[in-house]
Structure 1
Amino acid sequence: MGLPSSVWTGVTGWREAVVRRAESAPAGPNGHEPPAVVPVLTASEDIDRAVPAGLRLAASWAWRIILVSALLYGLARVAGYLSEVVIPVAVAILLAAMLTPVANRLRAWGWNSGAASAVTLLGGIVLIAGALTLITSQIVAQAADLSTNVVAGFNNLVTSLQNSRLPINASYFDTAAWGERIQKFLTESRSTIASYAAEVGSQVGHFVAGLAITLFSLFYFLYDGRGIFTALLRFFPRESRSRVDHAASNGWRALSGYVRATILVALSDAVVILIGALLLGVPVAPALAALVFIGAFVPLVGAFVSGTVAVLVALVALGWVQALIMLGIIIFVLEVEGHLLQPLLLGRAVKLHPLAVLLSIASGIVVAGIIGALLAVPLLAFAKSFVEYLRGHKIPRTDATPSPVGDEPDAGAAVPDQEPAAASDVESGEPAGTDPVPVPDRG
């Protein structure tokens, strides 16, 4: 009996030890001891844990920035390669933003889409042709007086330089010597001039082709802008089409408001400069005002550069005093534009920081010259409103049930009439305009 008793005592002690250990251990959800979880790290995860968190965050940002930059660079290269098509289409989009209200008004009066688009396009062409005809007739009518004033002003300038104490050689004022120099330069640069003439002829051909593309695209943007945009939406995932549609509509409203406000600002600048030039008696004042009107479409610098031409004409034709007065008028126009007209008219359309405007214009000049400077700020206005809408609205979950969106989006319009959501509403985190607002088809 001694051996069985010892075995029984050992088993009993072992059972009591197991019970005490079970009572001291935390119970699992089913009353049993939870299984011990031992983390197993791979070699790469072990290395990642050894890298500081700040460096991991910087690396994550870095490769994403590099990827986005490469994508933008590739798109820029493609756009540059197809610039003879991209630039006319971009100009047509700006013109469509300006002329769409006219076409919509004609449709509201009962016109069909084709007739309204054609009349709007032809009316714009007639208006531009009439303005160019008026300017050309003014220049031709005052060409004789202008040439006489220019010659007299140049002679006065030469006389002033001769009588001054500046160390200028007297041979520079010999007209016969200047004639010989010009003739010699033309003779030596004959091949260069011929190459430039051929290049100018080629550029004229490209301009005519681009003008045809612009007019053709503009007609279809006015006629079937909504259909074209709906076709582009099919490249996006089905569950995000409605959201992209609303964001694009928000950007289109900002772009339309910007273009209309810019027209009013440019018209105001041209009218003030026209009045000042007429009061001073500056030759070809209507032509100078038209030049200022065109230049004012480039914010901050356009009106100043085009107004400098008016100052130079006043200097050569009238003298220093009138030129200084004309310069004062230009400065007054720039101050009124920068501190009154742009904040008042452009503030409702889109708010852009002056530094962002200046940098976008400089970038546009580097990329595409004058056309780039013209298109940079409208593109920035659209992109800002588009991104603000996307940032202020929640991204649909991928595991959610897709909304019943077919090939066409549920709401939104390519040419909406509503005002864009304010930046403060978007930044506050409240999704503005989440409910779809049905807008009649624009054609």
Structure 2
Amino acid sequence: MMTTANEDSAGQPAAVVAHVAGVSPAPVVVDEAAATTPQETLVRLCATILAVLIAYTCALAEALIVPILLAILLGLMFAPLVRGLERWRVPRPLGALVAITIAIAAAAGAFFALAAPARTWIARMPRALEHLQSALRDLRRPLQAASEATRELGKLANMGGSEPMQVVDSSSGVLSQLASTAPTVLAGALVVLFLTFLFLLHGDALLRKFVTLAPHLRAKRDLVQATRQAQHELSLYMITITLINLALGLATAGALALLHVPDPLLWGGLAALMNYAPFIGPLLTACVLAVAGFAEFTTPLHALAAPAAFLGLHLVEGQLVTPHLVGRRLALDPVMVFLALVVLGWVWGVAGLLLAVPLMSCAKIIAGRSEHGYTVATLLSH
């Protein structure tokens, strides 16, 4: 009997033996890393490689992708206007033409408002650079002894001394560069306007094609409702952000005019445009205003008053105005915004910085209205 009991105990699982002995079995710990199959590892590796290839392709195809994305955003923004005009018996082609006319008028108004101050600044650039050089020389004066020692060491190492900075009349060079890039910019703008017109004209037909691909009636209804609500929310969001940036630009121009900074409308327009890129845009605007202040004024206090005034206005806008008008529902996670700015800025430069937040807002709105977009909406939400 003793031998049989031992054989039975050895032949049973450890949990049964522990139960018979009156001892609680130890918890079984599963190593998730060891449970990963080679197929899952291969899938993750292929997904990573695919993401890198997509980013590289987007960087190479900037001239093609950026106009398409900009046209899609403009199409989504103006779609409710075209649909509202269509309910008032206005033909859809005419409504799309009205929306395009509004976009052209806004862009032309901004261009003509900023063209004269920009031309004045370019003409005054050599004198401003001379003032900037003088201000930097005054700031470097306490370190002049260290600079002389460094120059002597460079001479001993046959490196030669650093040559003094020379002011070059760069106004003609800047004007020639602007003239050479004007045809490219004009061609890109025409492509964006034409694509926007096509999206506004045939957007509903394209949506109906996607609806026919839905598997059942409920999916078709959800797709239509999600698209309509996404268009409405994105249009409201873009218009609100544009008005906020415009108000910030006008307030910045007014503050700079009170500080007697030349061409305040130019810097206000720059502040409004760069405010589409959070974190990085206002920082670049403050740096540009600091350079402009040192180029125009001799005292550091007066020179730093311009960026200080802008940062104060931006603080009010970012902490009070935008959260109150936009609301928490459309607020984006700051970490994800910064990552999007870094990635898209690396891929597309300034265009990526300006498109990062509108694209993230569009992705969040659509993901929040789609059936399987909970993960994306949660990652992008504040």
Are 2:134 and 1:134 equivalent residues in the alignment? no
> Residue in 1 aligned with 2:249?
270
Query: 1:283·1:313 contact (CA, 8 Å) conserved in 2?
Result: no
Q: Which amino acid aligns with 1:122?
A: T
Question: Paired residue for 1:54?
Answer: 32
Task: Report Cα offsets for 1:30-83 as digits up to 9, x if no partner.
Answer: xxxxxxxxxxxxxxxxxxxxx957357644865664465455455545545544
Give distance in 1, aligned partners of 2:348 and 2:164. 42
Matched, 1:93 2:72: yes
Provide the residue aligned with 2:197 in structure 1.
219
Partner of 2:362 in structure 1? Answer: 382
> In structure 2, the residue corresponding to 1:167 is in which secondary structure?
helix
Separation in 1, partners of 2:343, 2:122:
38
1:293 to 272, 277, 280: 272
Q: Secondary structure of the residue that 1:269 maps to in structure 2?
A: helix
Aligned to 1:302: 281
- How far, CA to CA, are the matches of 1:321 and 1:301 in structure 2? 24
Quote the Cα distance in structure 2 between the aligned partners of 1:388 and 1:102. Answer: 23
State the SS of the aligned residue for 1:298. Answer: coil
The Cα shift of 1:340 comes to 1.5
Task: Note if 1:333 corresponds to 2:317.
Answer: no
Counterparts of residues 237-276 of structure 1 (less than 5 Å): 237=215, 240-276=219-255
Distance 2:83 2:59 in 1: 34
- The RMSD of aligned alpha carbons is 4.0
Contact 1:85 1:210 (8 Å CA) reproduced = no
The one-letter amino acid paired with 1:345 is: L
Contact map agreement 1:304 1:330 (CA 8 A) in 2: no
1:103 lines up with 2:66 in the alignment? no
Given that 1:149 and 1:318 are in contact with CA atoms closer than 8 Å, whether structure 2 keeps it comes out as no
Residue 210 of structure 1 pairs with residue 188 of structure 2: yes
Q: Summarize the Cα distance change of 1:206–1:230 in structure 2 as closer, same or farther, 3 Å threshold.
A: farther
Q: Name the counterpart of 2:15.
A: none
The answer on whether the counterparts of 1:251 and 1:381 sit within 8 Å (CA) in structure 2 is no
Matched residue pairs, number? 329
Percent of counterpart pairs with the same letter? Answer: 21
- Does residue 372 of the first structure (1) align with residue 352 of the second (2)? yes
Unaligned 5+ residue runs, structure 1? 1-50, 184-192, 395-421, 427-443
Structure 2: runs of 5 or more not aligned: 1-28, 152-160
Q: Which stretch of structure 1 is more off in the superposition, 65-74 or 376-385? A: 65-74
Q: Give 1 or 2 for the bigger CA radius of gyration.
A: 1
Choose from 295, 298, 304 the match for 1:316. 295
Secondary structure in structure 1 of the residue aligned to 2:258: helix
Instruction: Determine if the alignment matches structure 1 residue 151 to structure 2 residue 114.
Output: no
Q: Deviations over 1:285-338 (max 9, x none)?
A: 111111111111112221221232122111210231122222221221232233
Q: 1:222 to 1:262 in 2, by over 3 A?
A: same
Structure with the higher fraction of residues in helix conformation: 2
The residue identity in structure 2 corresponding to 1:222 is L
1:357 to 325, 331, 337: 337
Summarize the alignment of residues 109-120 of structure 1 with structure 2, pairs less than 5 Å apart. 109-120=88-99
**One-letter amino acid matched to 1:325:** A
Q: Is 1:284 matched up with 2:270?
A: no
**Aligned partner of 1:271: which letter?**
L
> Relative to structure 1, is the Cα distance of residues 283 and 105 closer, same or farther in structure 2, using a 3 angstrom cutoff?
farther
Distance 1:81 1:156 in 2: 41
Contact 2:274 2:285 in 1 (8 A): yes
Q: Is 1:138–1:287's contact at 8 Å kept on the other side of the alignment?
A: yes
The residue correspondences of 1:18-33 to structure 2 (distance < 5 A) are: none
Tell me which amino acid in the other structure corresponds to 1:281.
H
TM-score, normalization by structure 1: 0.62
Partner of 2:19: none
